Structure 1
């Protein structure tokens, strides 16, 4: 196994532990045991447990921000951009399930550590993307103006990110089906037109 693939393997296994046990609840010894090496050998690959978490989280957030930038750069109407934000968010969560869950479960704890001071700015940036799109849709009349934009964003955000706790793709459940269902519910509602 090359050094790079060894690092990736360690990050993958550590990510699963962080997601299931929490960052504070996972020890370096547990990570080492999981990948079959001595605890001290982990430091050959990473300077600390926080460095592992940082690599997992920062690559996830870079992926998310890149997807959002593509949505914003596309010359499409705001309602379509909102659908694409939902799609991009769910695809990113599916591509990075451990990182998504770590971020959801431990962001408040991580923000207390100096290494993760950037998380507050990223969180604000993500919210600003959503609010910009929602406000543009309100302005052009394609999105309702009687619903508070922040409330809609927060409900949608929480529903999307928390899917990593219960959604397991496979069989009759696919990421595309989840995207279609969520987009329909969030933007069209669940009530029949009668």
Structure 2
């Protein structure tokens, strides 16, 4: 996942932040459901109950909208990840905290996570979205580095393939966005506990 986009230029705002946030939330749902290429400004405006021309009063293009949706998600993600990485935790505790924060981000930014998973590879080829590739590299460094530190510190098994484990953790955590629904039966913290129990302890009954 990617580095902060807060230092990049944002779309010019013409009215209050509440309405802007509502429009971005609506746009995120449309992008997540239809995909970036199939989504039109008119389609977003229709979903928001307004004319397309009125939407242009807030955003200059659908590109600007998806840019802000993804950058906001990644800013929040890295604010929380950086806090975990700066806390001086042991390798296992760091993995536990990163997993928990990941499930919380899926809860907070559900549509943005779905967009990121579907669109990031295509978008990052554009200069405007170069930060997506930067974030993926930073994400890998954080998780893989923690796993390698755990092997070196003998917290994790010596025969652990750290890169393969990283890929497994990355994919199995973030794929939860395809079935998790905010406000559902289980909280993100409960899902994280169950996930970590399976990954770290296994599912076989111990005598």
Q: Deviations over 1:12-64 (max 9, x none)?
A: 00000111111111111100111121112222111210110011100111111
- Give the corresponding residue for 1:47: 60
Question: Runs of 5+ in structure 1 lacking a partner?
Answer: none
**TM-score (norm: length of structure 2):** 0.88
| 2:100 and 2:188 in contact (8 A); partners too | no
**Separation (CA, whole Å) in 1 of partners of 2:151 and 2:158:** 5
Count of matched residue positions in the alignment of Structure 1 and Structure 2 = 193
**Separation (CA, whole Å) in 1 of partners of 2:184 and 2:25:** 24
More helix by share: 1
**Separation (CA, whole Å) in 2 of partners of 1:67 and 1:77:** 17
**Separation (CA, whole Å) in 2 of partners of 1:170 and 1:37:** 28
- Give the corresponding residue for 2:110: 97
Please, what is the CA RMSD of the aligned residues?
1.4
Question: Runs of 5+ in structure 2 lacking a partner?
Answer: 1-14
- Give the corresponding residue for 1:22: 35
Is 1:148 equivalent to 2:148 in the alignment?
A: no
| TM-aligned CA deviation for residue 170 of structure 1 | 4.2
**TM-score (norm: length of structure 1):** 0.94
| TM-aligned CA deviation for residue 113 of structure 1 | 2.3
SS class of match (2:50): coil
Note closer, same or farther for the CA distance 1:171–1:72 as it changes in structure 2 (3 Å cut).
closer
- After superposing on structure 2, the runs of 4+ consecutive aligned residues of structure 1 that deviate more than 4 Å are none
**Separation (CA, whole Å) in 1 of partners of 2:144 and 2:201:** 19
Note closer, same or farther for the CA distance 1:93–1:172 as it changes in structure 2 (3 Å cut).
closer
